[in-house]
Amino acid sequence: MFYSKHNNIYEQCTKVTNIHSSAYKKYKEDLDLKLNTIQFIFIYIVIFGFPFFIEFGQTSIPISD
C-alpha cells in the first residue's frame, strides 16, 4: 500500500510536459534568464571581487615578527 501510493506519485511527477506550449516556452526563457544572471553575478564577483579582498586582506592585518 505504502509503496504503490508513492509509486503513483512518482509516475505523476515524471509525466512529460508539453514542451511546445507557450507557457512552457515562457517558463524556460524566464528560467534561463535567471540562471544566466546568477552565473554572470558569480563570475563578476570572482573576477573583480577576489583580487580586491586579497589585496586588502594582506594589508589590513599587520604581521609583526
Tell me: the pLDDT tens digits for 12-48?
A: 555 656 777 888 888 889 989 999 999 999 999 888 8
Within a domain: 39: yes
What residue numbers bound the domain in which 42 lies? 32-56
Within a domain: 1: no
Within a domain: 5: no
24 touches 18 (CB < 8 A): yes
Within a domain: 63: no
Q: How many domains does the chain have?
A: 1
pTM: 0.49
Sign of CA dihedral 44, 48, 49, 51: positive
**In the numeric block, which cell numbers belong to residue 19?**
514542451
Within a domain: 50: yes
What's the longest Cα–Cα distance across the chain?
71
pLDDT band at 6 (very low <50, low <70, confident <90, very high): low
15 touches 9 (CB < 8 A): no
Within a domain: 38: yes
Determine the Cα–Cα distance for residues 19 and 46; give it in Å rounded to an integer: 35
Within a domain: 49: yes
User: Alpha helix (H) ranges present in 1-65?
Assistant: 2-13, 22-44, 50-60
